[in-house]
Structure formats: structure tokens, C-alpha cells
Structure 1
């Protein structure tokens, strides 16, 4: 296991901004259309920033690249008109609406005084990378929901940053959008996939019917819908933990051996996701327990599960919106400390198996009644199957694709690596030290 920390010498990428403007659909769109947002969409009102780093391409110098990308965005905003829209709080329905009013998406072109080599390992969770995917445009009151940025480096390499409000898309829909954006950057290439925009497919039932408890959601004491999710006010550390393929196999073999010795074990497939999720859950719980000194504390994990194939009938694979819900598991810290890893893998697997058609509909109805938000002491998102790094642009595939770190401290990510899995964690310093200790000890068993 290897730990990556940001390069402390690079805190400012020394950017010069050449363009900062709104871009609009290249053709007329339905500017008076309002897009219905499901209860799942409503609960994910926060920004995420994605970065693609590319090697130099002599056919695409900075000016050519910026012009080609800008044109591609204008073209893709026709089938994705809502990406150029704005959120509006509807006081009559007490819901967010997405106005497809062609108010524009953001486009930024910049250059850095550094080369790619100088900013170090691109997998490092460097907070300075936020400069490569700005979330807002200067001197603009009506801010866009999506901003695209191209930044060139002195070596000829470049980065494309994408900042999106999560209300717009989940991971799979985001992958489809990026493939479509890439297709429009080619000359005369059709869309990679036709998006399905009918978000009523995930509307609540009338009347709502909640048939399960839903501890994966929190009903706030005060209304929060319509407000962006706020980040932590604490100072956080950011680290990436590289779990190699041999490390993953070690954990799988350990869990399988423990299951074989447990006569009460239920048959569960030990996947990379299940075993890494169980590891993160235990290490996060024990690190917080070390800081708080309370082993009776119940610690929960929630983890995003795609609903597309779990509904009856299934959603179209091209569903364009948020079709994810959190599965969950919880236990006391003292129990998690003594239980074998297998027990936690089993509980993670049970959380996924719980997500039936009726459970999903019950969760959507719970959100309709309670206007809640996803909850967990640790909220885990996996990019293992998204394939974001597989998107092919005219200038080639990316050297590296990564998430830009933010201050949403409960969130952590599982990201594919060429040899295993990267875990991105953001925690206060004392807790990060304990997390690192427990993670390293997990491989000494």
C-alpha cells in the first residue's frame, strides 16, 4: 500500500486566464421548458469537479484545442439543453425546478506557468487542481450549472476541467455526456448515445408508500432543499491510498478464509468493491473512535448503488439524471474492531442486495414526504465501473482522469488505477493519522 499526499511546493499553478465567458446551444432550443427533477436529483445539490490531463498533441495547439472544445460544447448543449439552464426554487411545489432557458454554460481558457512534470504525480489529491476546474465565472450574478475549462501547460500538455452541479447528472449519465461531448469535438460524428431525459420515471408514487425504514437518509431539523450542500468548516487533509492488485487479492483471500471458517456465513461473492468498502468503513470508524474515545458509538457507511437495472421495468441505460441511491450498513465501533473483515464484507453485500424495486420506490417516496438528504458517517462513491478514463477525444485518451478534492468531508471515493484501486480520503489531520495507522495494520493480519 502506498500513500500519496499533495505536492506542498505547488499551491498556486500560476494561471493566466485568456477567456471566461458563457457559451450557448448552437441551435434554437425550447427555452420555456422546465425539466422535472426527481427526489433523488433534489437531494444532490452540490458541485463536483472532474479533471482530464492530456499529453501534448501537435495537431492541437492551445488555441485550436480551445476553439474545438468550445464548438463541441455549443453543439452538445442542443441535446443537453438543461446543462445551459438554471435552477429555480418553486414556492408552490416546494421543489427545485430546472429551467431549460439557454442561459448558458461556462467556458474558460487558461495557461499555467508550469509543465505537467513540475506539478508532480497527477494522482495526488492536490487542492491546487481546483484552479483547473473553476466553478464560477467572474463578474456574473447568474452563475451557470456547468463550467468547462481548458488549461495549457508549458510542456504542451493540457487539462480539461469540468465542474457540474450533481443535480444535473450522476456518474453513468456523466460518462455518457462526456462521450457525447467528445463525439461532437470530432468532425461530423454523431452522438455516441441518445440521452433519455424523462426524469418522471423516478417520480414518487401517488400517494407515497414508505414500506421500509430508511436510515440512509436524514430528515433535517430545518428545511435544506433548494440550498446547496455546504462543505466542512474544518481544515482537512487530503490523501490518496494506492491499494495494489496484490493488496486487493490479499484482502479477498483473507475474507474468503474467514468465511470458510464461519459456519454461519452466508454465500456472498467477495468483490473488489465489497472488500475495499468494508476496509474503508472499519478504518474510518476506528479512526473516529480513537479521536472521540467512544467505542459504543454506532458508525454508518452509505455507498451509491445504480438503480437502472434494479427497477421493474428497468430504466433505459441512457437515462440522463441521477439514478443512484445509497445502500447502508452500520455497527458499533467496538464490534467492528473485533469482527473479522468477512463480517463487514457480508454486511456491505447485504446493503446492496436490499436495493430491490420496492425498496427503491419506498426510498423515493420517503424523500417525497420527508425532504431528506443522503446520510452516513462515511459516504462512499465508487468509480470502478464508470470508465471515465476511457473517453476518447480527437486529441486522444487522457493521461489521467481524477476528481478534484472538495470540502465535503464525509465523502470518499474509490477510483480505478492501472494496478488496483485508489482511495481518496479527506479528513481532519488527527483522524487522518489514525485512519492511515488502521489501514496499514489491515495488511499485517
Structure 2
């Protein structure tokens, strides 16, 4: 039986007053950067934390602050803020040099007391500095860094970014640039391309495909189209589950398990096999008495190679759209595993054309939508296994663990490489998942059944 993780509290840490780090090259007059509909659909914060063994935490803090002065020359927009344009009603990125926020912290806890760092631990939110939902939008920092020194001499570096400003690849590249500067090796990315107008909606918008993967969040005048009706997956969305009733866990997919899944539905990729297995297991756990409803799994698709002209290296905006696989819950549960894999393949193929991507952008222009996870009947799977968390060397060695901070979102599953943690082989995949306790018991019963 897994040991309950150590829970960090406010009493375990002492935090210094936040410092604002400014860009030495912020444009004057103030620049306003267009954010695409893809950016706006995912304008939430992403938290990651990296643990290091004994090292000079005080020196690390000084190095990071010095490195930020270099990083914020090409990445000056990270010191800006989001605000709503009163004329268009759209969020914009205003490069007003309001600052990146840096925090020093000390903990009386020994790092070994935290247990297995690779397990989801919601209390690791203490190791990042959150911009604060109580603040107005123009007051919330887009990038924060916290360096926490533990009683044993180890330390953690926690970072918070805004997904609407940087997607996963762009954020990972930025972290690598920061670490490279700390090592004295300068920027790894020589050119930062921040013009997002390549993802502007067409005039007028032309919706040529149905887009079940998004849901409407505000009424807007509809344009003539065969696909302007918003898909509703359930007439009666389930009420939100209190965070304290949720259980966080890691589902390990070993090389032998992955191989067995792929043999069952050959030919298919590792991603397709794992996604289909998670979808089927979750449907069996959640749709017990709702088999006539539609079950859907959402997933991220990188479209950098699908846009013409091809996006340049160093593009920092969001270049990921949402794909989906959907079917009646009864079919997902009762038909062979290969059925789920084929639905996933269809979902990936659906997003393979530039026209589909343009149609999705136009749909978002009309409906101001977000990925359709808010009704509790679908969930989002994001593959982070290519993000090299353990390669983030700030000058005193690579982290013993690095990865996301667990949160209470029932709708999101992260696929991670165990190489980023302390367990498992590099050919394994770990799925981080959060679910209501009773549903989790059912889910765990089904997810290992092949």
C-alpha cells in the first residue's frame, strides 16, 4: 500500500517578500501583442517544480536573478500582463514591464521527509509562487520563480507560467534558456518569434468542420454554417467534486504493458494505446448508469508542421489544438479495445489538415470557447513525456526530480516519462490522474485489464 505523501503547509515555510524583476529592454512606447484564439482557449497557469540535492541555494537565488536580466531581453513580454481590450473584448498581452516575480523561501523540512517526489503531491503548491486569483487580471504576473531551501541543504525551484503566453514546448525552451544562462553558456534559442497573427481567424470566419472538442463559454452572434451548433455531451452535468474527496495517483504503464496493449490493437503507437486504455477505463468507471451518453477523450495535437508557411524555430505562442475521440459509452465499454484505438486514430487524423485547424480557430472566434472538459463527461490527456525535466541544469547538477505540481482538476491527465522522476525505466510511461475516491477505485480495477 502506498504511503500517504508528506503534506507541506504554510507553517513549514518562511517566504521573503516577492521581488519584481524587470526587463532591461522592454519596448517604449508600451507594445501590445495579439493573442490568438488558441492562446485564449488555454489562458490558465501551469506549475512545475524541480528538486536538487545539496547545493548553494543562496548562490542559486543570486544566479537566477542575474540570469533573468539576460533572459528578459528576448523574453521581455514575460514581464508584461494580460488585460482586456475594451474595444474588442479580447485579452491582449501588454508589455508594460510590470515584472516577473521572484521569491526566496526556507523550509524547516528535510527533503527526504517529502517521500517519493515522483508521486502527485498537491501540497507542493507551497513550492511555487501563485500570482493570486484575488488580484485583478492586470496585476497577475505571467511568470513567477520561487527558490526554496530545505533544512537538509537541498532546494527546489518552482515556476509558474501562463499557458496563454507560452505553450508546453515554448515554456520548456524558456526554462532551458534560463538554465543555460545560469551555467554561463548564454541563450540556447537565438531568435524568439512572438508574432501570433499566423493564427488569426479568417474574415469572415468559416467553420467547415464540427468541433465537439470545444464548448461555448459566452453567447455570440452566430454566422451561417452547417457546424455552428455547440455540442452538448450531457443534459445534466455532474456537480463538481470537492477537492478533499479526490484521490491523486500515478498509473504506471510498463514496457510489457504497453507492448501488450499495442499487440491487442496493432498497428498503433504508444500514445494511441495508452490514450485508448485510459478512455475505456474511465468510461467504465464514470458511465456506470449512463451508457447511452457520449463519452469523449480530448488530447493535445501540435500543429507546427500543419500550418503554411511552417512556423519558425523560436515561435513562443500556442501551436497546439485539441483533438478528440468520442463514442457512445456503451460502445466504448462493450466493443473490443481495438475500437477505442481506431476512434483515437480517427481523432488524430481529423486534426491533420490545415483546414481543420483554421476551422477550429474560426469556431473559437465565433463562440469564444474552451476545451470541452467543464461538464465532467470528458477529460483531457496531455503528453509531457518529451519535456526533458531532468535536463534542467542551472549550474550545480541536474534535478533528482522535476515535473508538474498536482492540482485538483478531475478533467486533466498528464503522461510523463518516469525518467523525470525517481522510479521506472525510460521506456515506461506514468499517467498522473486525479479522481473522486469511489470512481478511482473502479478506474484502477479497469485500467490494468487488457
Instruction: Give the TM-score normalised by the residue count of structure 1.
Output: 0.88
Picking from 248, 252, 257, the partner of 2:262 is 252
Q: Is the 8 A contact 1:205 1:365 kept in 2?
A: yes
Picking from 307, 317, 331, the partner of 2:313 is 317
Aligned to 1:280: 278
Counterpart check, 1:75 vs 2:45: no
- Aligned pairs (5 A) from 1:292-307: 293-307=289-303
Q: How many Å apart are 1:389 and its aligned residue?
A: 3.0
2: CA distance between counterparts of 1:304 and 1:4? 31
Per the alignment, do residues 81 and 5 of structure 1 end up closer, same or farther by CA in structure 2, a change over 3 Å counting? farther
Per the alignment, do residues 113 and 9 of structure 1 end up closer, same or farther by CA in structure 2, a change over 3 Å counting? same
Per the alignment, do residues 302 and 140 of structure 1 end up closer, same or farther by CA in structure 2, a change over 3 Å counting? closer
Aligned to 1:100: 95
Deviation per CA, 1:307-342: give whole Å up to 9, x if none: 101122221232101111011011112111122222
Aligned to 1:262: none
Query: RMSD of the alignment, in Å?
Result: 2.2
Q: Is the 8 A contact 1:125 1:240 kept in 2?
A: yes
Q: Is the 8 A contact 2:6 2:115 kept in 1?
A: no
Deviation per CA, 1:134-186: give whole Å up to 9, x if none: 21379977231211111111222211111112111111111111111112212
Counterpart check, 1:402 vs 2:403: yes
Per the alignment, do residues 73 and 13 of structure 1 end up closer, same or farther by CA in structure 2, a change over 3 Å counting? farther
2: CA distance between counterparts of 1:415 and 1:217? 25
2: CA distance between counterparts of 1:101 and 1:9? 38
2: CA distance between counterparts of 1:365 and 1:138? 29
- Aligned pairs (5 A) from 1:91-130: 91-130=86-125
Give the secondary structure class of the aligned counterpart of 2:174. helix
Q: Is the 8 A contact 2:26 2:96 kept in 1?
A: no
Q: Is the 8 A contact 1:170 1:324 kept in 2?
A: yes
Counterpart check, 1:166 vs 2:163: yes
Counterpart check, 1:330 vs 2:340: no
2: CA distance between counterparts of 1:210 and 1:316? 26
2: CA distance between counterparts of 1:285 and 1:5? 28
Aligned to 2:44: 46
1: CA distance between counterparts of 2:38 and 2:78? 18
Q: Is the 8 A contact 1:232 1:409 kept in 2?
A: no
Q: How many Å apart are 1:105 and its aligned residue?
A: 1.0
2: CA distance between counterparts of 1:82 and 1:21? 17
Q: How many Å apart are 1:74 and its aligned residue?
A: 2.6
Aligned to 2:20: 22
**Range that drifts further, 182-191 or 371-380:** 182-191
2: CA distance between counterparts of 1:340 and 1:138? 45
Q: Is the 8 A contact 1:6 1:126 kept in 2?
A: no
Give the secondary structure class of the aligned counterpart of 2:291. coil
Structure 1 segments, 4+ long, off by >3 Å, are 3-6, 8-13, 26-31, 137-141, 190-193
2: CA distance between counterparts of 1:232 and 1:89? 28
Number of residue pairs matched by the alignment = 416
Aligned to 1:414: 415
Q: How many Å apart are 1:12 and its aligned residue?
A: 6.1
Aligned to 1:261: none
Q: Which runs of 5+ in 1 are unaligned?
A: 224-230, 257-268
Q: How many Å apart are 1:28 and its aligned residue?
A: 4.5
2: CA distance between counterparts of 1:138 and 1:153? 27
Q: How many Å apart are 1:390 and its aligned residue?
A: 2.6
2: CA distance between counterparts of 1:4 and 1:194? 46
Q: Is the 8 A contact 1:287 1:432 kept in 2?
A: yes
Deviation per CA, 1:54-77: give whole Å up to 9, x if none: 1223xxx12111010111123212
Per the alignment, do residues 100 and 215 of structure 1 end up closer, same or farther by CA in structure 2, a change over 3 Å counting? same
Per the alignment, do residues 243 and 5 of structure 1 end up closer, same or farther by CA in structure 2, a change over 3 Å counting? farther
2: CA distance between counterparts of 1:146 and 1:4? 34
Aligned to 1:214: 211
Picking from 323, 338, 341, the partner of 1:342 is 338
2: CA distance between counterparts of 1:391 and 1:279? 31
Aligned to 2:433: 425
Per the alignment, do residues 10 and 107 of structure 1 end up closer, same or farther by CA in structure 2, a change over 3 Å counting? closer
Q: How many Å apart are 1:373 and its aligned residue?
A: 0.9
Q: How many Å apart are 1:379 and its aligned residue?
A: 0.8
Q: Which runs of 5+ in 2 are unaligned?
A: 221-238, 420-424
Per the alignment, do residues 48 and 125 of structure 1 end up closer, same or farther by CA in structure 2, a change over 3 Å counting? same
Give the secondary structure class of the aligned counterpart of 2:18. strand
Per the alignment, do residues 289 and 222 of structure 1 end up closer, same or farther by CA in structure 2, a change over 3 Å counting? same
Give the secondary structure class of the aligned counterpart of 2:413. strand
Q: How many Å apart are 1:254 and its aligned residue?
A: 2.3
2: CA distance between counterparts of 1:13 and 1:191? 39
Aligned to 1:226: none
Q: Is the 8 A contact 1:23 1:104 kept in 2?
A: yes
1: CA distance between counterparts of 2:7 and 2:127? 17
